[in-house]
Structure 1
Amino acid sequence: MNESGAAPTDRLLDLFHGVRLTPTQRRIAHCLVQQAGAAAYLSAAEVAELAGVSQPSVTRFAMALGHDGYPALRRRLRELTAGGAADPADAGNALQRAVHAEMGNLDRLAGQLADAGRIAEVGKLLAASRPLPVLGLRAAAPLAAYFAYFAAKVHPDVRVLDDGGSLLTDRLEQAVAAGAGALLAFVLPRYPRETMDALREAREVGLTVVAITDSPVSPATDHADVVLPAAVGTDLVFDLHTAPMTLAMVVLQAICDATPAETQARLEAFESSATRRQLFLG
C-alpha cells in the first residue's frame, strides 16, 4: 500500500465517487479499475481500446473528473498508485498473495456495511417479493444456487434463474404474474450479455432489480435499481468469489431480520422435518 494506506483499486474508486458518469464513462472507469496496477501508464488510445470506446470519449471522461485532459488524469493516477510502504498482501508465494488479496476484499466489504440501514432496506424489499426470483448465469450460477438453497428455508418461494435464452423471459413474466416485486441478480465478470438482457427485461416487466456485482462501475449499474458491490479476486487462473458470497449471506441475514417471526417458524418447521426424516448425521 502507499502512504494513504488504501489499495490502488480503492483509491481509483475514490476518484469516481460522487461523480455522475455516463454509461460510456462508467465503462472507462471500470476498465481503469480492472487495470489498477497499470492504469497510470496507459495512453488514452490504449484505454480507449481496452474499454471499447473512442479516444475522444476518454478525454471527455478525464474532464468529467475535473481534469483538463487525459494527461492530467494520468498524472493523478500515478500519484494515487505511487509506491510507499510494502503491502502485506505482497508477501509470500502466489497462492498466499491470492488469499491475502481476498482478505483485503472482505475488509473493504466490511467497511461498506457500516451503513446497515441500506442492507436492511434491501432485506425488506426482497423478503416482500413473493415469489423471489434469483438470477445467476454462467459463473454466477453457483452463487445464485448457494443463496437460494438457504433462502428457501426462510422464504416461501425462491426461484433460481440460471439458464439464459427465451425461456428466461418467460420465467420472469411468470414470476411477476405470481406476485414478484423484486429480482436479486448476481452479476460477475465476464458479464454475460444475456445477463444484461435479463436485467433490462426484468425492469420492463416491473421488477425492482437488486444486483450483487464486483464493482460500483460494473455494467450492471446501468440496469439495476440497487447495486451492492463486492470485489472479485483475480490473482488465480479463475476468479475468486469470496466477497460476493459473503455479501449474499449478509443479504439473506437482512431478509431474515425483516421477517423474524416467519423466519423462526420456517426454521423450526424445517428442523422438525429434518429430525423426523433423519436427514443429517449430527
Structure 2
Amino acid sequence: MNEEAVAEPVERVLDLFHGVRLTPTQRRIAHCLVQHGPTVAYLSAAEVAELAGVSQPSVTRFAVALGHDGYPALRRRLRELTADGPDGATDAGNELQQAVRTEIGNLDRLAGQLADRDRIAETGRVLAASRPLPVLGLRAAAPLAAYFAYFAAKVHPDVRVLDDGGSLLTDRLEQAAAAGAGALLAFVLPRYPRETLDALREARAAGLTVVAITDSPVSPATEHADVLLPAAVGTDLVFDLHTAPMALAMVLLQAICDAAPADTQRRLEAFEASAARRQLFLG
C-alpha cells in the first residue's frame, strides 16, 4: 500500500480551511471534521453540531464561510475528499496494520511540513534563549513533556517540567517568567485538558512566547499559541498514538541544539565525563 494515500484524505480536508479566517467556534467544527475523518461526511448538520459541541446554525455558517451554499454542499465535498478510491475501498490489511500505516502517513505528512527549515530553526532559537525553559504537558501529554525535558536538560541549563495542574500551575508559570523565561513549550493533545488551555492564557499574560505542539492546525491551542506546530495523533486504536508529536518534539530539540552548537557540545561533553566517572551506563 502507498503510505502517502493514507495521509491524503486528511490533507485534502485541511486544505478546505487554508487561508480562511475561522472564528473559535468554526475552528472547533473544523477540528471535528479532521478528527472524525470519513465518518463525519455522512452526518447531518445537527449531528455534526452535537459532535463539535456547537449550535446547528454555527455548522451552516461554517459551511458558508468555506464558500458553500450550505451544509449539504459541504457534506458532498467532504465525501469526495475522504473517499479512499473510486469505490471507497482500500487494501490496508487488518486493523492493527492500518493503525501503523496511519502513523506512517502522519510521519510522512510531518516530513513535508519540515521543508520550511527556517521556521523550525527560529523556534529553536526562541526556546534555546529562554532561561529557564518551562515545558508544559498535562494528562496524556505529560509523558511527551517529560521525554522532551529529559533530553533537553542535557543541553539546556534550566528545563522545568510542568506536568501537574491545579492552582500551583499558574504559580510555577509566574515563577518561571520572574526567573527570566521568555518562552513556554506546550504539548496540547486530545482530549485537550481545560487546565492546559488556561495555562496557555496565563503564560501569554505573563509575557511568555507560547510554542505549542498539537495534533491539528485547527486544534483549540490555535488561538492561544504564538507558534503552532501540528503533528497528527493516531486514533485507530483504543488509545491515541503520539508517534508524530514525539518525532516533532525531537526535531525541535535538534533545532535548540543547532541554535547554540558550542554550548550544546560543551554540555554534552560535560555530561559524558560525569556519566563515565559515575559509571552510569553499561555500554
Is the Cα–Cα contact under 8 Å of residues 89 and 100 in structure 1 kept in the other structure?
no
Q: How does 1:156-195 map to 2 (within 5 A)?
A: 156-195=157-196
Identity in percent: 85
1:66 and 1:277 map into 2 onto residues whose CA distance is: 64
Q: Is the 8 A contact 1:185 1:211 kept in 2?
A: yes
CA distance in structure 2 between the partners assigned to 1:63 and 1:272 by the alignment: 62
Deviates more, 1:30-39 or 1:127-136: 30-39
d(CA) in 2 for partners of 1:88 and 1:40? 16
Contact 1:143 / 1:245 at 8 angstroms: preserved in 2?
yes
Which residue of structure 2 aligns with residue 267 of structure 1?
268
8 Å contact 1:200–1:223 — kept in the other structure? Answer: yes
CA distance in 2, matches of 1:72, 1:89: 25
Q: Which residue of 1 is the match for residue 113 of structure 2?
A: 112
Partner amino acid, structure 1, of 2:61? R
Distance 1:98 1:212 in 2: 21
1:220 matched residue in structure 2: 221
CA distance in 2, matches of 1:71, 1:97: 30
The 1-side partners of 2:91 and 2:36 are apart by: 17
3-state SS, counterpart of residue 172 of structure 2: helix
Displacement of 1:141 after TM fit? 0.3
Matches within 5 A, 1:52-91: 52-84=53-85, 90-91=91-92
Does the residue aligned with 1:36 lie in a helix, a strand or coil?
Answer: helix
The alignment yields a C-alpha RMSD, in angstroms, of 1.8
Give the corresponding residue for 1:276: 277
Structure 1 runs (4+) deviating above 3 angstroms are: 85-90
Question: How does 1:1-282 map onto structure 2 within 5 Å?
Answer: 5=5, 7-84=8-85, 90-282=91-283
Structure 1 residues 140 and 170: alpha-carbon distance in aligned structure 2, compared to 1, 3 A threshold: same
Structure 2 counterpart SS, 1:84? coil
Aligned residues: 281
Rounded to whole Å, the distance in 1 between the matches of 2:187 and 2:62 is 28
1:151-190: per-residue Cα shift (whole Å, max 9, x none)?
0000000000000011000000000000000000001100
Unaligned runs of 5+ in 2: none
- The 2-side partners of 1:103 and 1:87 are apart by 20
SS of residue in 2 equivalent to 1:106: helix
Which stretch shows the higher mean deviation, 70-79 or 267-276?
A: 70-79
Please tell me the residue identity of whatever aligns with 1:20. R
SS at match of 2:218: coil
Q: Give the Cα–Cα distance (whole angstroms) in 1 for the partners of residues 101 and 190 of structure 2.
A: 21
For each residue in 1:195-216, what CA deviation from the matched residue of structure 2 results, as whole angstroms up to 9, or x when unmatched?
Answer: 0111111111111100000000
Q: 1:83 to 1:255 in 2, by over 3 A?
A: closer
Compared with structure 1, are the counterparts of its residues 67 and 161 closer, same or farther at alpha carbon in structure 2 (3 Å cutoff)? same
Secondary structure of residue in 1 paired with 2:38: coil
Give the conservation status (yes or no) of the 8 Å contact 1:48–1:58: yes
CA distance in structure 2 between the partners assigned to 1:204 and 1:186 by the alignment = 18
Q: Distance in 1 between matches of 2:157 and 2:221?
A: 27
Shift, 1:90, TM fit: 4.3
1:97: how far off?
Answer: 1.3
Could you tell me how far 1:83 is from its partner in structure 2? Answer: 3.9
8 Å contact from structure 1 (residues 90, 97) kept in 2: no
Question: One-letter code of the match for 1:74?
Answer: R
Amino acid at match of 2:160: R
Contact 1:89–1:101 (Cα < 8 Å) also in 2: no
Tell me the distance in 1 between the aligned counterparts of 2:91 and 2:38.
Answer: 13
TM-score, length of structure 2 as denominator length: 0.96
1:68 and 1:249 map into 2 onto residues whose CA distance is 43
